Structures are given as structure tokens and as C-alpha cells.
Amino acid sequence: MKCEHCTRKECSKKTKTDDQENASVEVPSPAQENGEKGEFHKLADAKIFLSDCLACDSCVTAEEGVQVSQQNAKDFFRVLNLNKKCDTSKHKVLAVSVCPQSLPYFAAKFSLSVTDASRRLCGFLKSLGVHYVFDMTIAADFSILESQKEFVRRYHQHSEEEPTLPMLTSACPGWVRYAERVLGHPITPHLCTAKSPQQIMGSLVKDYFARRQNLSPDKIFHVIVAPCYDKKLEALREDVPTALHSSRGADCVLTSGEIVQIMEQSDLSVKDAAVDTLFGDQKEEEVRRHDGASSDGYLAHIFRHAAKELFNEDVGAVTYRTLRNRDFQEVTLEKNGEVLLRFAAAYGFRNIQNVVLKLKKGKFPYHFVEVLACAGGCLSGRGQAHTEDGRADRALLRQMEGIYAAIPVRPPETSTHVQELYQEWLGGADSPRVQAALHTAYQGPGQPASSRDIKW
């Protein structure tokens, strides 16, 4: 099976079957070609998984392949080593932000509770020379809250002449890149304009936190730890440097698997440490998650908000109905036999293709779709819980799902820190700064992403 609109005679994507869904293509790194070796030279080079890849406009370009292969621990250790030298003018403040879907992987790998795994990871990173380690849940809070408001606004504005629904989520970089590079209009107008948690975290660290610490944004080297490789491609987006700060939101993206490799190859003595907060002297917070089985739970949170705001209906537990397969599920709000809201979750390439085809034909019954490129959701990201040959480690994934489900849920509306940040950082929930910091615009085909010289 080839990507839609592919013009190549022979596609480099593997044929999609149940046994081949994790096939990969390796791209040699410059260090490999030049025979360079460093402290962690045995680390695996970044892999581009093509069997389920949405981040292309027929396949990953050669230039993008090189950029992905360069996104590894080499630049991370370059900054660590610079900080050990006498020339303080070149020193950087190292900040690492960890995606919530990465923590169950560390917990399962090291047989720890998710809280202890978080402290172990934080202690290890600080033993390397990292100054701050943050939890990215607060960035997902902002993304979900802005998505909630946008859905309600779109619902009121929707008409047959100017359709604003369905709204499609925009937190998954693989899906967004595919929509921009391949699909274009009429799909991109349906993408939610709220930035992804990774992009928002970049602004929080490089703008809010930098100002609190009296630092220039370019003095901070910000590393993202994420479950999938598409997060690396997300840093290629042109709008990552925002109007709030001139530097990149994410300077380096490492997968959970790459971090585990570094930990396993290190002989450092590690003492557990508490995760930092953006507020400086605040005490450590408990690990919390959003109401999604394997993701940030956009569907559940937006569904409850819309039911209350639009129909004054209080929704407790959200009931999912599996349709075509376990990765395509439906949620409805019904009253007196009438369907008031119809939401869906579509994970994986095949389900996304079905969504796109029906939307183009005008035969799409949903008001909202949570779209994720990875079958199984974010926990199943290609950067973790996969064997060396690229196949999913299903036993480990089941363990991770159990760990993630046991983390207490905290609705984003209940976060006092988020409400404080809306006021202190952005000047209010409806201020013009909110648009610049928390929203984005989308490109179309023929407008390729920026090929900035970024060292991943």
C-alpha cells in the first residue's frame, strides 16, 4: 500500500500487514559514516518507521532522513560537555521536559512505580548535568483547554455553506504533517488550531520560565523526551519559534528508548530526585494524567466540556463503542432519541485514511475526531516499547497500559497552576497573547516545512 498521491514507481513503505506493521528503514548517521565514537557511541541511530508513517508527501525525503538521523544524543552530550569547560559564555541551562506517555515505559522497564520511575529518571538526568526536569502534563492542560473553547466556537459557527466541523485534533505531529504535506484543503481547515503540548512546552520553557530565571531564551537548551519519532519531525515546523521568543521551542528531541539506552550504558551512581516545576520553589507535584486510555484524552475532555457548554448535560464516565476495529471508537451524547454530539477516535494509518475519504465525500457524521498516527495511541509510539527489529513488544505494552490506567486523572480545568499562568504569563484567558502562545496556522501542499539546520 502506498501513500495517497504517491508518484513513485516503487514505494519505500513496506506492505502493510499485521506481521509487518513495524518495519523500518535505517538512515546512517554522519558519525557512523565518519567512524566517530563518543561516550555513548553504541547508541542506535534514529530510525524512520515507514509502514505506518504519515509524515511525508509520498515518503520521507532524503533531507528529512538525514535530519532525523542527526536527532540523537550527540548534540545533548555536546552541550553537557560544553558546560564542563571554562568558557562560561558558551554554557547553557539544560532543561528536559518529559511527555506523560513516556513515564509508564520507564516504570515498566525498571520495575518501579510511575512516581519512583519519574524520580529515578530525574536523578539520572541531573547526574549527567541537566539543571531542570519538567513534566509536560501542564502543557497538555493548555492544549486541551484551548481545544475545548475552539470546538464550542466552531459548533456555533458551523453551517452547510461554511462548514467548521468536524474538528480534527492537532496534537499528533505525524498526522498534522501528513495533513499539511499531502491532504491540504479541504482537510487542513478542520484541524484544531491549538498547538500541541510539545510546542506549548517550548513556549513555557523559553518564555515564561526564562523570564522567571532572568535568562535569555537562547541560553536555555531544551530537550523533549517523547514516545515517538514524529516528535523529532515536529521540531521542523516553521512556527516553532513563536512571537513570544526568537529561539526554538525544542532544541533536541530524544525518544524514551534512546534515554533508556543511555541509562543502561551508563555507570553513573544515581540518586533519585524530585521533578522540578516551572514555578521554581514549588514542592514536587504528584504524577497525574488526562482521561485517555493511551493518550492525552482530548476526546473525553472536549466531549464533557461540549456536553455541558452546549446542552447543559453533565457527563460522568465516557462510554466508548468500538466500530471497525479497536482503534476506531465512537462516543455519542443522546437525548430523547436524538444524537446531540457524535465524537470518534481514529488511531493508525488505515483508520485515518477512512476518515479522510469519508470527509472528502461529504459523508462524515462526526462533530469531532481525535486523530493519532500510531495504532494503539501514544503509549505505542515507535520510540518506546519496540524490539530492536522494530516490532511492538506487546507484553511490555500491556504492562504500560496497566501502569498508565492506574495514574490518577486530573481534569485540566482543575489545575490552579494553569489558571495562574493564564493570568501571570498571558494576561488573561482571552488576551491577544493567548493566540500567539497557544495557537498556530497550517501549511498546505507545496509549502514544505522549514529545513532549518537543527541537530536532533
Q: DSSP assignment of 344-377, as one string?
A: EEEESHHHHHHHHHHHHTT----SEEEEESSTT-
**What is the pairing mode between strands 368-372 and 167-168?**
parallel
Residue-level pLDDT at 39:
38
Three-class secondary structure of residue 340 per DSSP: strand
Residue-level pLDDT at 452:
35
User: Could you report the per-residue pLDDT of 335-385, keeping only the tens digit for each?
Assistant: 999 999 999 999 998 899 999 999 999 889 999 999 999 889 999 988 898
Three-class secondary structure of residue 305 per DSSP: helix
Regions of the chain where pLDDT drops below 50: 1-59, 238-243, 448-456
CA distance 172 to 35: 35
Asked if 394 and 114 count as a contact pair (C-beta separation under 8 A), the reply is no
CA distance 67 to 175: 19
Using a CB cutoff of 8 Å and minimum separation of 24, what contacts does 106-113 make?
106/256, 106/259, 106/260, 107/400, 107/403, 108/385, 108/396, 108/399, 108/400, 108/403, 109/260, 109/396
Residue 212's identity, in one-letter code, is R
Q: Which residues pair with 330 in a beta bridge?
A: 321, 344
C-alpha 432 chain-centroid distance: 25
User: Could you report the per-residue pLDDT of 115-167, keeping only the tens digit for each?
Assistant: 999 999 999 999 999 999 999 999 999 999 999 999 999 999 998 888 899 99
Q: How many CA atoms lie within 13 A of 242 on its CB side?
A: 25
Three-class secondary structure of residue 254 per DSSP: strand
Cell of 373: 498516527
Residue-level pLDDT at 234:
85
Structural element, H or E, at residue 95: strand 93-98
Asked if 134 and 201 count as a contact pair (C-beta separation under 8 A), the reply is yes
Three-class secondary structure of residue 206 per DSSP: helix
Nearest to 332 by CA among 380, 283, 368, 357: 368
Structural element, H or E, at residue 261: helix 256-265
Residue that is written with C-alpha cell 493508525 in the block? 348
CA distance 146 to 368: 15
Q: How many CA atoms lie within 13 A of 423 on its CB side?
A: 4
Residue 11's identity, in one-letter code, is C
CA distance 334 to 341: 7
Q: How many CA atoms lie within 13 A of 39 on its CB side?
A: 15
Concatenated DSSP letters for 162-202? S---SEE----HHHHHHIIIII-TTTGGGB--BPPHHHHHH
Cell of 152: 464550542
Question: DSSP letter at 149?
Answer: H
Cell of 332: 455519542
Residue-level pLDDT at 27:
36
Residue-level pLDDT at 246:
65
Residue-level pLDDT at 35:
41
Question: DSSP letter at 164?
Answer: -
Nearest to 404 by CA among 274, 285, 289: 289
CA distance 202 to 222: 8
Residue 407's identity, in one-letter code, is I
